[in-house]
Structure 1
Amino acid sequence: MIRPLLPLMLAALLCTSALADQPRPVVSEILTRETVALRSYPGQIAAEVETTLAFQTSGRIATRPVRLGDRVVTGDVLATLDQITLDEDVSTARAALTSAQAQLDFAQQSLTRARELQARNVASQAALEAATAQAESAEGRLRAARANLTRALDAERFGALRAPASGVITAILAEPGAEVSAGTPVLMLATDQGREAVIDVPEEVISLLPPAARFVIEPRTLGAAPLGGSLRLIEPVADKSIRNRRLHITLSPEVEPPRLGTMVDARLDQPDTPILTLPVEALLEADGVVSVWRIGADRVAERVTILPGPRVGGRIAVREGLSEGDEILIRGIHSVSEGEILGEREQ
């Protein structure tokens, strides 16, 4: 019974050896030119110039006649400080100035008498020096009183916060009754100097943008027509949480812009350009050189140096080194050697 099994075992060994000698199948990709189009990104309409408004003096806010979203014109009163307190400060400063002037007059009269008495050897030199010091001190108090009056008058004049330009109130930062100091933010004003669309895009999109990128802005409003826009600013710092970069797109002035805060979708306004791309897992990097395994004639592995372009999602654009129709190995790239014969491509 043993002898009939020997031919079967020998045949199995020969079959296994033949399979081992066959090239292993590979996972690869045939390069084709594909259209890489930037998808649209959500955003909103904002003002190109938004300014924080504050009083130039300290006080208690008495009135704030504007509300969030109100439209104002240049010179409109947006908020006022307590005028009674400001008037009282001016009256107090005037009284202090009058008192300081009277003290100076008396000190100067005393100095004149001291000089006359000292000239007749009736008063001592020490008395003259004391009178001189009192007069100089009175002059200093008078200067301080004048400065306080000037400050009080300025505060009275700056007791009304006026709109420096026409625009829309976008934020209320202080309410009536609040005590504020000079420079404390009270309101935010979005001026009419221009409107823009603000969108956030991934880092890899930045490298695909031309210097004077044009965009199509589509408001999410029923019946609203698309708008044109041009890239004004790419914020230099990415968002820490999602690593996106913010783009500011100036809207074309020919069309009336949507209202502030309108939600929009923005996409790059340029013809879609077909380019060669590769999966990032196909790349080999060593000493700053990027290469891939190309499967050449007779299924021979060839290591080819390429010039990569920008990253688009999980793929890399290829600028130089490869052509359309090349077959590139994308799995097992670290277990291949130059000149190795590779098997058929797995579908």
Structure 2
Amino acid sequence: MIRRLALAALAGLMLAACQEKIETPPPVRPVLSARVAVDDIGEQSFVGTVEARDKADLSFQVLGRLMTRNVDIGDMVGPGDLVAAIDATTLDLTVRSAQAALGNRRAERENAAATVTRIETLRASGTAAEASLDDARAAFDAADAAVRQAEADLAKARDAFGYAELRAGFAGVVTATGAEPGQTVAAGQSVVTIAKPDPRDAVIDMPDWMAGTLSPEASFVVAPQIAPDQPIAGRLREIAPEADPITRTRRIKIALAEPPSLFRLGSTVEVRADRQASPTITLPEAAVLTRQDGSFVWVVTVDEASPAARREGSVALRPVTTAPAGEGRLRILSGLSAGERVAIAGVHSLKEGQKVLVLADGRDGAEGDAP
């Protein structure tokens, strides 16, 4: 019995030792990753149009039927030139009515003034009461106020009559028309658009994240599509404060330096950033681990000895400096170089030195580049 017990205890010890030797290692975790690529704005071009920096929509200040429009698209106008006119019959009648009302009010004031003079004479002789004189003076004050009101009404009617003619406020070229003769136009409705020939801008639409990487003094090369070998220099003048909610692009206005005749208003141009512009690296916000002590990314090191069908590697935490880039992306100012591979998902659950199964992000190309 003692021998049997000893053999059973020895077998148990041997079994425990075998279990310790065959303990399975922790599973290798798959991680979605992408290789860092540089966004070189100088390598990308955008198609835009040449637009006037200063333009105005001319409209009537009163309702009326358009009688004449003296200009068409492309016509040049000078300050004070007659552009269009509406039917002024009703406005003319209003002026005449105001003139008649003013004459009536002036006659009433003269009558009131004569009454005051007569009662003052009677009062001096003691044949008129003081109350009668007070009433006469009050009537004169009311008649005088009525005259001033009628004068204001006449001035208002004359101003409205002047609104029947639409004149250019500055020298420019007609770029658009909004009404035809015979059409009834409302007050404020655009009839003619006039633009100053100079200065001119090249206007393009740029992705929101890319617009966020432009410096205030960014320079561009602008060339007309009909003559791409004749480019001129341009400088960033304005970036739209908000992105278009549908296209997620921002409107960029580029000031053109002394544009030649090829850059006429409305012409199509091709714009690209000056190659001296600094390239940038951007990553999705999900790829950056943000903590109280800074921002970090998980750099993935691939084991080259692993088979191509199952690429294994490890991860290491690296601090980076970031800036907003828009569209759910962050601009990497320092800490990363082009060609390095980073984890772009699950960054909150990785550990330093952890073994991972490297998966490329299929959305960024066959090799997993992060644009």
Mapped pair 1:306 → 2:320? yes
Distance of aligned partners of 1:269 and 1:276 in 2 relative to their CA distance in 1, 3 Å threshold: closer
* Aligned-partner Cα distance in 2 for 1:118–1:186: 65
Mapped pair 1:337 → 2:351? yes
Distance of aligned partners of 1:175 and 1:341 in 2 relative to their CA distance in 1, 3 Å threshold: closer
How do residues 96-245 of structure 1 correspond to structure 2 at under 5 angstroms?
A: 96-177=101-182, 178=184, 180-181=186-187, 185-221=190-226, 225-245=230-250
Distance of aligned partners of 1:119 and 1:244 in 2 relative to their CA distance in 1, 3 Å threshold: same
Distance of aligned partners of 1:100 and 1:330 in 2 relative to their CA distance in 1, 3 Å threshold: closer
What runs of 5+ residues in structure 2 fail to find an aligned partner? 1-17, 304-312, 361-366
TM-score by length of 2: 0.72
- Residue identity (%): 34
* Aligned-partner Cα distance in 1 for 2:220–2:197: 21
Residue matched to 1:3: none
Amino acid at match of 2:109: L
Q: CA RMSD in A?
A: 4.0
CA contact (8 A) 2:208 2:326 kept: no
Pairing partner for 1:321 from 320, 330, 335: 335
Amino acid at match of 2:248: R
* Aligned-partner Cα distance in 2 for 1:212–1:287: 33
Residue matched to 1:36: 40
* Aligned-partner Cα distance in 1 for 2:283–2:140: 90
Q: Match of 2:154, SS?
A: helix
Kindly state the Cα deviation for residue 92 of structure 1 after the two structures are TM-superposed.
3.1
* Aligned-partner Cα distance in 2 for 1:119–1:252: 84
Distance of aligned partners of 1:40 and 1:310 in 2 relative to their CA distance in 1, 3 Å threshold: farther
Distance of aligned partners of 1:343 and 1:120 in 2 relative to their CA distance in 1, 3 Å threshold: closer
Deviations 1:38-63 (A, max 9, x none): 52222222110111223456655432
* Aligned-partner Cα distance in 2 for 1:237–1:278: 21
* Aligned-partner Cα distance in 2 for 1:312–1:71: 42
* Aligned-partner Cα distance in 2 for 1:250–1:92: 53
Moved more, 60-69 or 331-340: 331-340
Residue matched to 1:271: 276
Kindly state the Cα deviation for residue 296 of structure 1 after the two structures are TM-superposed.
6.7
* Aligned-partner Cα distance in 1 for 2:82–2:60: 12
Q: Match of 1:170, SS?
A: strand
Distance of aligned partners of 1:180 and 1:222 in 2 relative to their CA distance in 1, 3 Å threshold: same
Amino acid at match of 1:135: F
Kindly state the Cα deviation for residue 249 of structure 1 after the two structures are TM-superposed.
0.9
- Residue-pair matches, total: 331
TM-score by length of 1: 0.76
Mapped pair 1:246 → 2:260? no
Residue matched to 1:5: none
CA contact (8 A) 2:88 2:164 kept: yes
What runs of 5+ residues in structure 1 fail to find an aligned partner? 1-12
Residue matched to 1:71: 76
Residue matched to 1:258: 263
Distance of aligned partners of 1:188 and 1:24 in 2 relative to their CA distance in 1, 3 Å threshold: same
Moved more, 226-235 or 315-324: 315-324
* Aligned-partner Cα distance in 1 for 2:357–2:140: 108
